[in-house]
Structure 1
Amino acid sequence: MKKGAYLLLIAAVSALGGLLFGYDTGVINGAQFYLTEHFGLSDALKGWVVGSALLGCFVGAIVAGPLSIKIGRKWSLIISAILFTLSAYGSGLPELFPQSVSMLVFFRILGGLGIGIASMNAPMYIAEIAPTNIRGRMVTYYQLAIVIGFFVVFLATYFIGTTLTLEENIAFGWRRMFWSELIPSISFLVLLFVVPKSPRWLALKGKDDEALAILKRINGNELALKEILLIKDSLQETKQNIKVNYFSKSILAIIVIGTVLSVLQQFTGINAVLYYGADIFEKALGFGKEDVLAQQILLAFVNLVFTFVAMFTVDKFGRKPLLYIGSVGMIIGFLLLGVTLQQQQVGMLSLIGVLLFIASFALSMGPVVWVLLSEMFPNKIRSLAMSVAVSAQWAANYMVSQSFPVVMGSETNVQAPWNGSLPYFIFIAFILVIVFVTYKFIPETKGKSLEEIEGFWN
């Protein structure tokens, strides 16, 4: 297999973890109405069923760091694929099995564990294996796969939901929505056995010959020899002193900066829009219930298109310029939505605001944060630092998803002068923080090897 095709295979297979991330997160959006009717869920129980997977994501991201160090990136992803498969089947157990809310939550948490493990390991694995000049684009394959996962699952749930009657969807249609995830999850599990292990993990374990063989296949002999020397030099300190002081001033600062950036991705409000897009379209924008699934597809489509734009510009323009451009677009988008809500002039301008926000996020904070997190941490702390940053991101995701409907329904938000716009102005404030953090603390990593980026912190 030629070098380019081999790299594409590696990126595509590992990015399937991102597709399952998007698919597993999005499938509950399409299924929740029908399973709520099936089980007769209260609002509190419905929130628990929907939010339980996020708790699994949080735990999965925490264990992903030590797991990645112990068994490697590849086998960590294999474990996540097994969890995805078990979750997909178990969430839609056939009627002959006594499915209960507790069993459903159990399998949703299993899926969350899979997402947490994959969300840390997949972008890190791609970054560690990709050539320097196209690393940004290859890591954005991961974000692209997440977006494709959202888009495909909205199409799948829309198809299942519209081909069955309401009674059939309530009885068993929601089960089929969960089972549709079995196709990508089993494919992910099988294909992972054909990709190599991370050369940087192999070097970390002292398997330099194996690492060099993989680097030669990816970069050619000359570049591979240079890169293995850089990797060994960066790991020398770790080999001399196995215990790394994570609380030293320099290392703690890197972890804090990465974690803050990771958390701010969620505080843009992206998942409030994706998870509660149906409510936004219905309550804020005046769409009817029958249009909800179709509107979700529109959101996912815009997200998909602009992720492609990011993929082809992140190595050309750089990471920081995309963050600045995207932040401006997100602010303008939420200003359009917020002001039209305040003035009670909801209409096409409001919809343009939502779509502009989605497009701007997909161009910037969506893919670029994953690129930066996979690049910015030194070799010796990458696994655990990524674990901290990604688990904090899932905790922030849970906070936003739980607090958004509370703020939306609060008396302060409903009444004048806010008229339903308060959450969007809160999100604008956090986006302004992103601009400051990017300017002050984030290095430009375009065109630099992982070891050269490590030198920036020194």
Structure 2
Amino acid sequence: MTKKTFLLLIAAVSALGGLLFGYDTGVINGAQFYLSKYFDLSDAMKGWVVGSALIGCFVGAIVAGPLSIKIGRKYSLIISAVLFTISAWGSGLPSFLPESVTLLVVFRIIGGLGIGIASMNAPMYIAEIAPSDIRGRMVTYYQLAIVIGFFVVFLATYFIGTNLTEAENIQEGWRKMFWSELIPSGLFLILLFFVPKSPRWLALKGKDDEALVVLKKIHDDEQANKEIFQIQQSLKADDTGLKVNYFSKAILTIIVIGTVFSMLQQFTGINAVLYYGADIFEKALGFGKEDVLLQQILLAFVNLVFTFVAMFTVDKFGRKPLIYIGAFGMLAGFLLLGITLQQEAVGFLSLLGVLIFIASFALSMGPVVWVLLSEMFPNKIRSVAMSVAVAAQWAANYVVSQSFPIVMGSEVNNSSTWNGSLPYFIFIVFIVVIVYVTYKFIPETKGKTLEEIEGFWKK
């Protein structure tokens, strides 16, 4: 296998892992309208069915760290692929299973476990195996695939839904929407058996010869030998003969910085826009129901296009410049949306504000957070530290997704002072915090090996 083919295989696997992340997260949004009617769900139960997967995501991200240390990145991803497949099959409740909302929720939580494990292991695996000069782009493939997953699932559910009558959708359509995930999850599972183990994990387990074999598939012999030496030196420097003390000041500081940065991705408000886009367009922006699906597809398309922009600039401009550019754009977008809402001048400028925000997020905090999280932690603590950071991100996701509709419906938000704009000004405050945290605490990692990045924390 040539080096180019080898890297393409890694890109394909990471793409499918990310696509399933986006697909599994998004499929419920298309299916819930019909399954809610099928099961005659109350608003509270509908929220539970939709949000239950986030519990699995949180738990999956927590167990992903110890799992990754024990069995490695590759086999952790295989487990996630199996969970995706079980969830996709079971969520459609085949005829021989009891038709129970509780059982549906169980399968959604199983899918969430798969997302949680994959969301931590996939970007880390790519970062540990990709050459430093294209590592940013390689990890960005993962975010690109998440966005493609959202886009594809919107199209898939739309295609399934429009080719059936409403009665057929209520009876069978929502099942087919869940089962459509079996195709990418099956491919993901098969391809994972053809990728190697992470060289950093192999070295961590004392299998330096195997690690060198993998590195030589990526680099020429000289660079491969240089990298294995750097990895060995990194591990020796941290090897005190004792277990890692995660509560020591030095290590805890790194984990806290990464965790806060990870959570801030959600506090931009991105998932409030993606999860509740239909409500925003219909209620806040005054669009008719017939326009909502087209607006959702427009959001997904803009998200996709600007993730491509990030992919081709992250290794050229660097990580921090993209965050600054994106933060400025997100501020501009939400200011435009917030002011037009506050002034009761809702219209084209409001929609433009949403699109500017989405585009700016897609070229900055969307992909760059995953790039930096996969790079910034030292070899010895990477699995556990990233597990904590990703679990915290899922917790933040849950907080935002649950609190957004509450704030939107509050008397304060609907008073003459705010006119429905309050949530967006809250998100603006967090975007300003992102700029400060990035400037003060986040290292620039462009073009550096993971071991060179580790040196930043020892200054």
TM-score normalised by length of structure 2: 0.99
**What secondary structure sits across from 1:133 in the alignment?**
coil
Q: Is the 8 A contact 1:64 1:387 kept in 2?
A: yes
User: Corresponding residue for 2:296?
Assistant: 296
Cα displacement string for residues 244-275 of structure 1 (whole angstroms, at most 9, x for unaligned residues) = 11111111110000000000000000000000
Cα distance between partner residues in 1 of 2:93 and 2:43: 23
Residue 262 of structure 1 pairs with residue 240 of structure 2: no
Q: Is the 8 A contact 1:202 1:211 kept in 2?
A: yes
Residue 190 of structure 1 pairs with residue 190 of structure 2: yes
Residue 146 of structure 1 pairs with residue 146 of structure 2: yes
**What secondary structure sits across from 1:438 in the alignment?**
helix
Moved more, 11-20 or 365-374: 11-20
For 1:233, the aligned partner's letter is Q
Deviation at 1:17, TM superposition (A): 1.1
**What secondary structure sits across from 2:183 in the alignment?**
helix
Q: Is the 8 A contact 1:278 1:292 kept in 2?
A: yes
User: Corresponding residue for 1:329?
Assistant: 329
The residue correspondences of 1:32-431 to structure 2 (distance < 5 A) are 32-431=32-431
Cα distance between partner residues in 1 of 2:226 and 2:179: 47
Deviation at 1:161, TM superposition (A): 1.1
Deviation at 1:289, TM superposition (A): 1.9
Cα distance between partner residues in 1 of 2:219 and 2:415: 60
Q: Is the 8 A contact 1:302 1:355 kept in 2?
A: yes
Cα distance between partner residues in 1 of 2:242 and 2:61: 23
Cα distance between partner residues in 1 of 2:421 and 2:154: 26
For 2:334, the aligned partner's letter is F
Cα distance between partner residues in 2 of 1:241 and 1:429: 45
Q: Is the 8 A contact 2:14 2:141 kept in 1?
A: no
Cα distance between partner residues in 1 of 2:238 and 2:347: 58
For 1:40, the aligned partner's letter is D
Cα distance between partner residues in 1 of 2:96 and 2:55: 29
Q: Is the 8 A contact 1:30 1:293 kept in 2?
A: no
For 2:362, the aligned partner's letter is A
Cα distance between partner residues in 1 of 2:5 and 2:285: 45
Q: Is the 8 A contact 1:55 1:112 kept in 2?
A: yes
Cα distance between partner residues in 2 of 1:436 and 1:307: 23
Q: Is the 8 A contact 1:14 1:192 kept in 2?
A: no
Cα displacement string for residues 359-403 of structure 1 (whole angstroms, at most 9, x for unaligned residues) = 000000000000000000000000000000000000000000000
Give percent identity, aligned residues only: 82
For 1:155, the aligned partner's letter is L
Deviation at 1:343, TM superposition (A): 1.0
Cα distance between partner residues in 1 of 2:20 and 2:246: 32
Q: Is the 8 A contact 2:143 2:370 kept in 1?
A: yes
Cα displacement string for residues 128-147 of structure 1 (whole angstroms, at most 9, x for unaligned residues) = 00001000000000000100
For 1:443, the aligned partner's letter is P
Cα displacement string for residues 319-341 of structure 1 (whole angstroms, at most 9, x for unaligned residues) = 00000000000010001111111
Deviation at 1:38, TM superposition (A): 0.8
Cα displacement string for residues 164-185 of structure 1 (whole angstroms, at most 9, x for unaligned residues) = 1111111110111101100000
Cα distance between partner residues in 2 of 1:122 and 1:11: 10
Cα distance between partner residues in 1 of 2:242 and 2:169: 56
Cα displacement string for residues 177-211 of structure 1 (whole angstroms, at most 9, x for unaligned residues) = 10110000010000000000000000000111100
User: Corresponding residue for 1:453?
Assistant: 453
Deviation at 1:242, TM superposition (A): 3.9
Deviation at 1:414, TM superposition (A): 1.2
Deviation at 1:240, TM superposition (A): 4.0
Deviation at 1:15, TM superposition (A): 2.8
Moved more, 5-14 or 145-154: 5-14
Cα distance between partner residues in 1 of 2:319 and 2:99: 46
For 1:87, the aligned partner's letter is S
Cα distance between partner residues in 1 of 2:291 and 2:167: 19
Moved more, 283-292 or 357-366: 283-292
Unaligned ranges ≥5, structure 2: none
Unaligned ranges ≥5, structure 1: none
Cα distance between partner residues in 2 of 1:122 and 1:439: 27
**What secondary structure sits across from 1:219 in the alignment?**
coil
Cα distance between partner residues in 1 of 2:80 and 2:46: 25
Cα distance between partner residues in 1 of 2:46 and 2:265: 25
Q: Is the 8 A contact 2:136 2:446 kept in 1?
A: yes
Question: Which structure 1 residue ranges, 4+ long, deviate > 6 Å from structure 2?
Answer: none
Residue 7 of structure 1 pairs with residue 14 of structure 2: no
Q: Is the 8 A contact 1:19 1:146 kept in 2?
A: yes
For 2:170, the aligned partner's letter is I
Cα distance between partner residues in 2 of 1:160 and 1:291: 18
Deviation at 1:432, TM superposition (A): 0.3
Q: When the two structures are aligned, how many residues end up with a matched partner?
A: 458
For 1:49, the aligned partner's letter is V
Q: Is the 8 A contact 1:15 1:122 kept in 2?
A: no
Deviation at 1:422, TM superposition (A): 0.5
CA 1:15/1:242 → structure 2, altered by over 3 Å: closer, same or farther? farther
Cα distance between partner residues in 1 of 2:287 and 2:248: 53
For 2:295, the aligned partner's letter is Q
**What secondary structure sits across from 1:97 in the alignment?**
coil
Cα distance between partner residues in 1 of 2:21 and 2:169: 24
Cα distance between partner residues in 2 of 1:283 and 1:70: 49
Cα distance between partner residues in 2 of 1:436 and 1:150: 30
Deviation at 1:96, TM superposition (A): 4.5
For 1:18, the aligned partner's letter is G
Deviation at 1:95, TM superposition (A): 3.6
Residue 16 of structure 1 pairs with residue 16 of structure 2: yes
